[in-house]
Structure 1
Amino acid sequence: MPFRTLRMSEKDPWDRSRHDEPPGLDEVFNSIFGSGGSDKGPAAAISSLIMGLIIVTSLLFLVSGFFIVAPAEHGVVLRFGQLYRTAMPGPNWSIPIVDKRYIVDVFKVNEYTYTAEMLTKDEIYAEVSVSVYHRIGNPENYLFASVDPLNALTQATASALRQVVGNSNLNALLSKDRVEIREEISSQLKQILDSYKIGIEITDVKLQNARPPSAVKPAYDDVIQAREDQHRYTMQAEGYSNKVIGLAEGEKRRIINEADAQYERIILESKAKVATFDALVSQYKRNPDIMKNRMYLDTMEHIFSQVAKVFVPNEGMLNVLPLSDIISKESQAREKE
């Protein structure tokens, strides 16, 4: 079988030309970084590799320095351990490794409840609770001015609560004075925290119900019941007093009005009688006999009109039968029967 000569266009499986071999490392870097052909040697490839590593490292360094601060947060940036700046909401950048950043939520309101047993001003042992609502007002002071700001808040709350409760009676803690006491506790707590400068801002303070410890609760309940009984009896006594005084005042006014009316009536009747007498005097002077007879008849008419009677003539005399006495005796006899 004669040998056949291969053409250049046909592929020779035993051809080891460089076109079929994988490219070298220097060719790869030359194609990426544009260093030219492979005629510059291994030194050019190494320099290209180092340059690529520097560029990639620089990009990673720049990218790692970016951070986002949320709208409700503030960022604190330290440079070489010293306070450098406060990062506001939005995108920010700091130098990696050199700078250290802290993100703090300054709008979140946290609740803290403190409960303690203490003596009131009237020397009553009571258990008092207060709820404190607070947020971070100054991120720098909150992070670096105190080792434990929440513990400092606890101590400040205890100090303010004991100072106010120690100057207040238990009745004030249970009555309408609770609003004034709550405001006083809030004011005292804010003054203490301002002097501490720990970056915590008080938003609200709520005073919970004061109650006695469990060991003295039965005796305390008796005291409360006695106080309620006292209040009830006092109200009943005041109601009865107001009722009696009102009736007495009304009776007094009635008697005074009746006396005034009687006084006016007597005065008017006296004036009328005087006027009548004056009129009779003038008539009497003119006709004395006629006036005497008229006055006698008027008087007898007035007297006889007051009693029941019967006139019986008897030989020129006029006898009077007292019927009123007879009728009264008959009525009494019928009642006895």
Structure 2
Amino acid sequence: MEMSLKQIYKVTGLVAGAVILILVLFTSWFTVDESDQAVVLTFGEAGQTITESGLKFKMPWPIQTVEKLSKETYSLQFGYEEKDGEITEFPKETKMITGDEYIVLADLVVQWKITNPEKYLFNAEDPKEILYDATSSSLRSIIGSTEIDEALTSGKAEIEANVRDLLVTLVEKYDIGVSVTGVKLQDVELPNEDVRKAFTDVTDARETMNTKINEAEKYQNQRLNESQGEKDAILSRATGDKAARIEQARGDVAVFDKLYAEYKGNPEITKQRLILETLEQVLPDAEVYIMNDEGNTMKYFPIRPLEKEKPVQGQEGNAENE
């Protein structure tokens, strides 16, 4: 039995209504995980951004759609790619020139996250590519103003900080809805083994030079300290000698003053005394005699022999008894 046109319309209407009901039921709600954030689009235009997790409701498709983006922190690997524990390097991308015109290879990791889903979706066609190019530009700019010694040794921390500051500035300028949370410089090295060896030789020579300079400065300081000590000792001895000579001079003056006083009282006796004392000092081993010449007979009184003779103990007793 053939269906009438009315019945066909009725069945078609029922099917269409069922399809619409199913669309309404299955596209009027969505869930947001804790690690996600969502943007509700009304006819393709961004509207509300949802960051709280849970069950959410919206108008059915195609009126409203939902774009979900992760809240996690992403890692952008510049100059290499790591997959399944294997590292693939891209030396052409990492080759750059330092401020003193040396070629080095530099790679790094940029930590970033999506902070504005609407801008991330609509302000750029490929925000990741823009971030990659900004990273390359920032790193090349900083390496290009850094000398090779700093880039290979002690200047890596400063390079990281400068790259991060410049990259943050560029990302804010491009306004692509992402934020840079960290920059980690993985490695800065010379392009081949020969260049590395030559640079190592130069570095070793520089270290040897610095060591020799430090040793020479140490020896110089040691000799200066010793010389300063000798100088202080000489000055100290000179000061002591000066004080001793002054005191001796004062003593000599006092002795002279006493002799002069004696001389004023007894000039002849003092004169003879001074003559005898002077003879004893000038001729310490000479025999001194006091002589008196009367006529043809020379009588003298030997002083030194008498001084040398010592009386015997028994004779002293006899002399006393007598």
TM-score by length of 1: 0.70
Per the alignment, in what secondary structure is the counterpart of residue 78 of structure 2?
strand
Partner deviation per Cα, 1:79-109 (whole Å, 9 max, x = no partner): 1111122122132122232222111112434
8 Å Cα contact 2:24-2:61 kept in structure 1: no
1:62 aligns with 2:62: no
Q: Which of 159, 164, 169 is the matching residue for 2:142? A: 164
8 Å Cα contact 1:136-1:201 kept in structure 2: yes
What one-letter code is carried by the residue in structure 2 that aligns with 1:102?
Answer: E
Per the alignment, in what secondary structure is the counterpart of residue 198 of structure 1?
coil
Partner deviation per Cα, 1:225-276 (whole Å, 9 max, x = no partner): 1121122111111111111111112112222222222222222221221122
Report what 1:94 is aligned to. 58
Q: 1:128: Cα distance to partner?
A: 1.9
1:277 aligns with 2:289: no
Q: Which of 184, 198, 201 is the matching residue for 1:206? A: 184
1:82 aligns with 2:60: no
Q: Give the number of aligned pairs.
A: 273
Q: 1:300: Cα distance to partner?
A: 5.1
Per the alignment, in what secondary structure is the counterpart of residue 124 of structure 2?
coil
Q: Give the unaligned 5+ runs of structure 2.
A: 1-5, 80-92, 290-298, 306-322
Q: 1:65: Cα distance to partner?
A: 2.1
Q: 1:75: Cα distance to partner?
A: 0.2
**Of the two, which has the highest radius of gyration?**
1
CA RMSD of aligned residues (A): 3.4
Identity %: 29
Report what 1:28 is aligned to. none
8 Å Cα contact 2:69-2:117 kept in structure 1: yes
Per the alignment, in what secondary structure is the counterpart of residue 189 of structure 2?
coil
Report what 1:221 is aligned to. 200
Q: C-alpha separation between the residues in 2 aligned to 1:269 and 1:184? A: 77
Q: C-alpha separation between the residues in 2 aligned to 1:209 and 1:233? A: 31
8 Å Cα contact 2:38-2:69 kept in structure 1: yes
Q: Which of 210, 213, 218 is the matching residue for 1:234? A: 213
8 Å Cα contact 2:23-2:61 kept in structure 1: no
More strand by share: 2
Q: C-alpha separation between the residues in 2 aligned to 1:52 and 1:177? A: 72
Report what 1:24 is aligned to. none
Per the alignment, in what secondary structure is the counterpart of residue 108 of structure 2?
strand
Q: Give the unaligned 5+ runs of structure 1.
A: 1-42, 321-337
Higher relative contact order (CA closer than 8 Å, sequence separation 6+):
2
Partner deviation per Cα, 1:134-156 (whole Å, 9 max, x = no partner): 11121122222222222211110
8 Å Cα contact 2:110-2:180 kept in structure 1: yes
Q: C-alpha separation between the residues in 1 aligned to 2:39 and 2:186? A: 36
